[in-house]
Chains A and B, each alone.
Chain A
Amino acid sequence: MTKEEILQHLPYAPPFLFVDELEYIDEEKVTGIFTFRADMPCYKGHFKGHPVTPGVLLTEVMAQTGLACLGIYLLKDEVRKQLPTVAMTAAHIDFYLPVAPGETVKAKATKIYFRFNKLKCRVELYNTAGALVCDGTIEGMIIKK
């Protein structure tokens, strides 16, 4: 499955799509890129008069790259038939630097395991300058209907 196909299969749409492009993907790891446009509505309220990208959205970039994109890649043909229902089940993240409006971030995820419909990844997020913004582990499950 190509990087473009993976993006087309993502179950998200603006304003909650947080992957612009995939730089790299294989069965073990993935790198995604996203630009936090300065006109995004979240900056009006986070914080009043002092816009900083919310940590939950940084986590979301890592989850959409590391769980959704990598998960779709690992499931391949199954995804082509029917998009599975997925849920994030845990995120343990440490934050080191703020991300300003307009910054482009790079999310790197490495698979720890994919067993019994659960994907667990080690994740890292880097800012435009290449400095580590946050890292941790994130996991999600495919929900059987």
Chain B
Amino acid sequence: MDKETFIEQLREIVRPYAKNQEALATIDLSTDFIKDLKINSANLVDVILDVEEKYDIVIQNEEMERMLDVQAAFDIVQTKLSEK
């Protein structure tokens, strides 16, 4: 999966949870879920669960703790998909 496709899919996943909808329009690899999109830590859990469902993967606790920006999410999803 290329990063453009991933970013487009992730944008739809985070849309219901992003408090800052303007930042959502310009989302890129450096976008931080909490600082830029203003997603709270409780809703970030729902983002991760939706990512798991979308890509049919299981994310571990330590991976979840690293998944704070789009780049980290992309790396973790890529790794998981390549392991399938």
Contacts and interface: CB of A to CB of B under 8 A. Distances in A.
B49 A141 contact: no
B40 interface: yes
Which residue of B45, B49, B61, B64 has the most chain A CB atoms within 10 A of its CB atom?
Answer: B45
Interface residues on B, range: under 10
**Chain B interface mostly helix, strand, loop or mixed?**
helix
A113 B52 CA distance: 14
A92 B61 CA distance: 27
B40 A116 contact: no
B45 to A, nearest CB: 4
A140 B48 CA distance: 16
Interface residues of A, number: 10
B42 A115 contact: no
Nearest to A139: B42
Contact of A89 (B42, B49, B61, B64): B42
B43 to A, nearest CB: 8
A40 interface: no
Interface of B: 40-43, 45, 48-49, 61, 64
Given A116-B61, A141-B41, A141-B45, 14 more contacts: A89-B40, A89-B41, A89-B42, A90-B42, A113-B49, A115-B48, A115-B49, A116-B45, A116-B48, A116-B64, A117-B45, A118-B42, A118-B45, A139-B42
The 3 A-B residue pairs with the shortest CB-CB distance in the complex, in nearest-first order:
A89-B42, A118-B45, A116-B45
21 contacts: A89-B40, A89-B41, A89-B42, A89-B43, A90-B42, A113-B49, A115-B45, A115-B48, A115-B49, A116-B45, A116-B48, A116-B61, A116-B64, A117-B45, A118-B42, A118-B45, A139-B42, A140-B42, A141-B41, A141-B42, A141-B45
